[in-house]
Amino acid sequence: MAVKDFGTRKLRRSWVALAISTVAVAGTLWAMGFTGVDFLQFERENALLPPPSAAQAARYRPLAQAEWRIVHANLETRLDQRNPLELGAVWATRKGQICGLVNGRGSFGGLSSMVRFYTVDQRPVFHQDVDHIPFQHAWFQCRRDQYVMLHAGTAEPGFCGSELGRRRCFNTKGGVRQ
């Protein structure tokens, strides 16, 4: 292929270089499109699940509350607190699993404050009970499927999520105390 350089001389370009450049550009565009489609599929699969309709909530709430009474008793037994349990947000998933936060208050060998839990066969499972990755995976599934709310409260783990922490911690936005 001859390319004129401002009409003064002729340069010969290789068809091989043009073909390689075309393949590289087409491959890059295909990879970008594939990555975008893959990302959208990932987001769709891991998005928050929709809340129940009013009829579904009315039908499922009594079952979830009955399950919660058993789990609450198991939590009290497991944590062995002198004071009543301080609960954060607690909810039931579509599969009947109870998930939430509870103030551990020294039950785990130190001041642990709000800790996450989920249930397996009506028994609470805490982070120190299982390996890190299985716990995080199960907790992620719990967070995305908040079907029936059983106890309104904070979803923030740690000291600032507890009652004492709310009195001592403060919110900031852009480094300014609110």
Q: What is the DSSP letter of 44?
A: H
Domain boundaries, the chain: 2-45, 54-168
Q: Check whether 40 has a pLDDT greater than 70.
A: yes
d(CA 169, CA 87): 18
d(CA 133, CA 130): 9
Integer CA distances (angstroms), 163 to 23, 32, 152, in order: 62, 48, 14
Residue type, position 98, single letter: I
* Burial degree of 114 (CB within 10 A; 0-12, 13-18, 19+): buried
Sheet holding 123-126, edge to edge: 123-126, 114-120, 98-103, 87-92, 148-151
Task: Write the pLDDT tens digit of every residue in 90-124.
Answer: 999 999 899 999 987 766 656 578 899 999 999 99
Task: Write the pLDDT tens digit of every residue in 44-94.
Answer: 777 778 888 889 888 999 999 999 999 999 999 888 888 888 899 999 999
Q: 151 is written with which tokens? A: 């106890």
What is the average per-residue pLDDT within 124-143? 92
Model confidence pTM above 0.75: no
Residue type, position 176, single letter: V
Q: How far apart are the first and last CA of the chain?
A: 69
Q: 91: helix, coil or strand?
A: strand
- Residue 2 pairs in a beta bridge with 12
